[in-house]
């Protein structure tokens, strides 16, 4: 419920959503750890202060004078719990929370939670589409912030939940939940892999049904909960040339999404939707018609027999490994464009997929040299000053039947505002080659 006193920490989209919702409803304070240190944040601080006049905007060093044991602190996802501002909050006995927890407390409707290292957004959209006839809508870590969804009066909600959100909230009460997969990621935020797994696993603690990937032990719920183990039962599984949804066999040739990881996501989405009332016919129809989302294995064009694929959303090594394996035709036919901010992750797992599936790698961005160190002597690689130059270099190396794949294995913040901007630039560069 809405607390008597609240502090919002962070001025991004989530922070503003919290501020907008709580403004005028409670005694409200707002801050950001970067105020006074970054001009853009300081300017935004001043703009929001004029916009939300019932809130008091304070400097980070004032937090200790404003919060107490009756204060709930709504923290933006990107600020790690080990940030010093939370030491202050804890010393004042304030409770740390996030917008998702407040949303879950306020709605009286079925809730489905989706988390995992890769595939969260695609799976969330799949589940919502499978339950569209029942009035479900999606949000959370994607699209609209959760509190903004209250304006839409959905009959049910599918929430994408990040580890950043799950670590800051009491385990959500969900009708169904999944951890799709867990691989090393966000090592700049979570101090250990164990900490990262523990944050993801919180999604199961109060869920009525857990759907998990039997082949990934990190996704299995540790608590006693009714479960559907995908690939652990003949009713819900992925085979070489088909998927099985509630015992209904669907050939993979009938699916528009390609790659084993996407096929696994379809089955998990179907299981979640089925638990919440979707008919099998709806599950199968959506599975066959769903085309995917921008920047996720998105075919931009085919030029002179070469396909150009935008997988800019691949911001970690596991996502890039999956992309290489799904696009390879059994030969080394991929020109991989990779690089950016590794977020502290290792590239060791890329060595074999690049060796087996890539004829060359074109590397750019802050951690390009670290990726190069993971490429063995049998694979050609070159460095590029920009993404546009990387596309040009890939075109020069490509032959008919090859794939030029942007799958960076890194975050984009060293060169771009976000992965969408990176993917958009790739798409525009490719399209310009057609004219």
Residues 187, 129 share a domain = yes
Please report how the helices 260-275 and 317-327 are oriented relative to each other, as an axis angle in degrees rounded to 10.
110
205 and 352 co-located in one domain: no
Per-residue pLDDT tens digits for 193-212: 898 999 999 999 999 999 99
Which CATH number do you get for residue 158? 3.40.1190.10
What gap in Å lies between CA 116 and CA 166, rounded to an integer? 11
Distance CA 327, CA 407 (A): 11
User: What is the DSSP-derived secondary structure letter of residue 217?
Assistant: G
Q: What is the pLDDT of residue 68?
A: 97
| 186 in active site | yes
Q: Is residue 283 domain-shared with residue 319, that is, in the same domain? A: no
Sorting pLDDT into bands at 50, 70 and 90, what band is 1?
A: confident
Same domain, 81 and 127: no
Residue 141's pLDDT band (cuts 50, 70, 90): confident
Q: What angle do CA 75, 194, 338 make, to 5 degrees?
A: 80
Average per-residue pLDDT for the chain? 94
The two tokens of residue 358 are 């890539």
Of 118, 125, 129, 141, the active-site residue reads 141
Same domain for 220 and 279, yes or no, is yes
Instruction: For residue 120, indicate whether it is catalytic.
Output: yes
Q: Are residues 420 and 399 located together in one domain of the fold? A: yes
Per residue in 272-309, pLDDT (tens digit) is 999 999 999 999 999 999 998 999 999 899 999 999 99
Predicted pLDDT of residue 174: 98
Q: Which of 56, 80, 97 marks a domain boundary?
A: 97
* Structure confidence at residue 7 as a pLDDT band (50, 70, 90): very high
Candidates 120, 200, 263, 357; catalytic one:
120
Check whether residue 334 and residue 357 sit in a common domain.
yes
279 sits in the region (left: phi over 0; alpha: psi -120 to 50; else beta) called beta
Predicted local distance difference test score (pLDDT) of residue 182: 92
Question: Residue 58 belongs to a domain with what CATH number?
Answer: 3.40.50.720
Catalytic residue among 186, 189, 263, 359: 186
Asked if residue 377 and residue 260 are part of one domain, the reply reads: no
Q: Which of 289, 306, 332 is the last residue of a domain?
A: 289
Residue 221 has pLDDT above 90, yes or no: yes
**End-of-domain residue from the set 270, 289, 308:** 289
Alpha helical stretches, state H, 280-386:
280-289, 317-327, 351-357, 368-373
Distance between CA atoms of residues 386 and 366, nearest Å: 11
Asked whether residue 115 falls in the same domain as residue 236, the answer is yes
Q: Are residues 187 and 89 in the same domain?
A: no
Active-site annotation holds for 141 = yes
Q: How many domains does the chain have?
A: 3
The confidence score (pLDDT) of residue 222 equals 84
**Proportion of the chain above pLDDT 90, given as a percent:** 85
Q: Is the predicted pLDDT of residue 227 greater than 60, yes or no?
A: yes
119 phi-psi bin (left φ>0, alpha ψ -120 to 50, beta other): left
- On whether the CB atoms of residues 432 and 301 are closer than 8 A, the answer is no
**What are the angstrom distances between the C-alpha of 275 and each of 196, 280, 385?**
27, 11, 49
* CATH code of the domain containing 313: 3.90.190.20
pLDDT per residue as tens digits for the range 230-282 = 999 999 999 989 999 999 999 999 999 988 889 999 999 999 999 999 999 99
Find the domain containing 326 and state its range: 298-434
Contact 47, 81 (CB under 8 A): no
| One domain for residues 280 and 327 | no
Could you tell me if 118 and 236 lie in one domain? yes
């Amino acid at each position: 419920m809405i607390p008597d006193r609240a502090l919002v920490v962070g001025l991004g989209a989530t922070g503003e959503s919290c501020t907008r919702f709580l403004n005028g409803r409670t005694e409200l304070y707002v801050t950001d750890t970067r105020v006074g240190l970054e001009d853009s944040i300081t300017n935004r601080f001043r703009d929001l202060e004029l916009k939300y006049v019932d809130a008091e905007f304070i400097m980070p060093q004032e937090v200790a004078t404003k919060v107490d044991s009756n204060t709930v602190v709504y923290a933006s996802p990107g600020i790690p719990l080990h940030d010093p501002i939370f030491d202050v909050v804890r010393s004042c006995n304030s409770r740390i929370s996030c917008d998702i927890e407040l949303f879950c407390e306020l709605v009286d409707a079925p809730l489905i939670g989706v988390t995992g290292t890769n595939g969260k957004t695609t799976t969330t959209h799949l589940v919502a589409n499978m339950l569209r006839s029942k009035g479900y809508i999606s949000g959370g870590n994607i699209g609209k912030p959760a509190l903004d969804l209250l304006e839409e009066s959905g009959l049910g909600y599918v929430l994408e939940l990040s580890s950043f959100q799950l670590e800051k909230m009491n385990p959500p009460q969900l009708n169904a939940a999944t951890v799709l997969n867990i691989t090393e990621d966000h090592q700049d935020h979570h101090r250990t892999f164990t900490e990262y797994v523990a944050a993801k696993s919180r999604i199961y603690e109060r869920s009525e049904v857990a759907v998990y990937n039997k082949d990934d032990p990190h996704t299995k719920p540790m608590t006693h909960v009714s479960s559907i183990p995908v690939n652990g039962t003949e009713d819900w599984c992925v085979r070489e040339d088909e998927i099985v949804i509630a015992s209904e066999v669907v050939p993979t040739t009938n699916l528009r999404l390609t790659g084993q990881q996407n096929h696994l996501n379809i089955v998990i989405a179907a299981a979640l939707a089925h638990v919440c009332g979707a008919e099998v016919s709806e599950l199968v129809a959506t599975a066959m018609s769903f085309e995917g989302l921008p920047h996720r294995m998105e075919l931009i064009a085919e030029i002179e027999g070469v396909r150009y694929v935008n997988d800019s959303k691949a911001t970690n090594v596991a996502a890039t490994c999956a992309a290489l394996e799904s696009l390879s035709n059994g030969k080394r036919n991929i020109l991989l464009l990779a690089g950016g901010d590794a977020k502290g992750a290792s590239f060791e797992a890329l060595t074999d997929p690049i060796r087996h599936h890539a004829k060359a790698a074109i590397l750019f961005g802050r951690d390009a040299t670290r990726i190069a160190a993971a490429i063995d002597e049998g694979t050609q690689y070159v460095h590029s000053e920009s993404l546009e130059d990387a596309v040009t270099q890939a075109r020069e190396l490509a032959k008919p039947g090859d794939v030029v794949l942007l799958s960076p294995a890194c975050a984009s913040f060293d060169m771009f505002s976000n992965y969408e901007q990176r993917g958009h630039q790739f798409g525009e560069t490719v399209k310009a080659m057609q004219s």
